[in-house]
Amino acid sequence: MGVVYKAQDTKLDRLVALKFLPPHLVRSETGKARFLQEAKAAAALNHPNVCTIYEIQDAGEPAKKTADKQPFIAMEYVEGKNLREIISEAVPVSAVHVIEYAIEIAKALQEAHQAGIIHRDIKSENIMVNTKGQVKVMDFGLAKLKGSVKLTKTSSTIGTLAYSSPEQLQGIEVDARSDLFSMGVVLYELLTGHLPFKGDYEAAIVYSILNEQPQPVSDLNPGVSEKFEQIVLKLLEKDPHRRHQNTKDLISDLKEIEHIKLSETKELIKPKVSNKKIH
Higher pLDDT, 150 or 273: 150
Mean per-residue pLDDT, 134-161:
66
Closest by CA to 139, choosing from 259, 1, 47, is 1
Q: Would residue 253 show up in a list of annotated catalytic residues for this protein? A: no
Same domain, 70 and 84: no
Same domain, 45 and 84: no
Average pLDDT, the chain: 84
Residues 103 and 223 in one domain: yes
Question: The domain containing residue 40 runs over which residues?
Answer: 3-76
Say how many domains are in the chain. 2
User: Which of the residues 121, 139, 179, 253 is marked catalytic?
Assistant: 121
pLDDT value at residue 59: 47
> What single string gives the DSSP state of each residue in 155-183?
GGG--SGGG--HHHHTTPPP-HHHHHHHH
Q: Specify whether 39 is located in the same domain as 87.
A: no
Order of strands, edge to edge, in the sheet holding 3-9?
3-9, 14-20, 72-76, 53-57
The CATH number linked to 166 is 1.10.510.10
What distance in Å separates the CA atoms of residue 185 and residue 192, rounded to the nearest whole number? 11
Residue 206 domain-assigned? yes
Of 76, 91, 107, which one is at a domain's C-terminal end? Answer: 76
For the whole model, what pTM was predicted?
0.83
Both 180 and 261 in one domain: the answer is: yes
Residues 239 and 179 in one domain: yes
pLDDT of residue 153: 42
Rounded average pLDDT over 148-161: 52
| Residue at a domain's end among 45, 76, 107 | 76
* Final residue in a domain of this structure, among 76, 109, 133: 76
pLDDT band at 156, cuts 50/70/90? very low
Residue 277 lies in a domain: no
Q: % helix / strand / coil in the chain, to the nearest 5?
A: 45, 15, 40
